[in-house]
Amino acid sequence: MTIFERLIAREIPADIVYEDDAVFSFRDNNPQAPVHVLIVPKRVIPRVGEAVAGDGELLGKLLLAAGEVARKLGVCSTDEGFRLVINHGKNGGESVPHLHVHLLAGRPLAWPPG
């Protein structure tokens, strides 16, 4: 079981921001911005590059949940704004082999990222 599966199963406490039948979202324990939330599908897809056509609906739910979380946290306006990040593989910064979306906000975010 990945740490995300253990969080979803409530084996480990989490600061939950949003949850529905397909998606679980919580604040990151090592935030890289004032707002740093992870949005995780409850069904495991190891990484985005391993998603298949049958995962399309779940992938869409991840993005819709990201918008809902951003609105809930008050960072959805064009003045405030936020960034979504999906890491894939070691060089992409992936640390947990369970697809997840990082929602970062609360400060200006430079481009390109580091």
Q: Is the peptide bond before 112 cis (omega within 30 degrees of 0)?
A: yes
Structure tokens at 109: 């975010």
The burial class, CB within 10 Å (0-12 / 13-18 / 19+), for 106 is middle
Nearest of 8, 20, 86 to residue 48 by alpha carbon = 86
Out of 88, 98, 100, 102, which one is annotated catalytic? 100
Q: Known catalytic residue: 98?
A: no
Other beta carbons less than 10 A from residue 53's beta carbon: 5
Question: Which amino acids are annotated catalytic?
Answer: 100
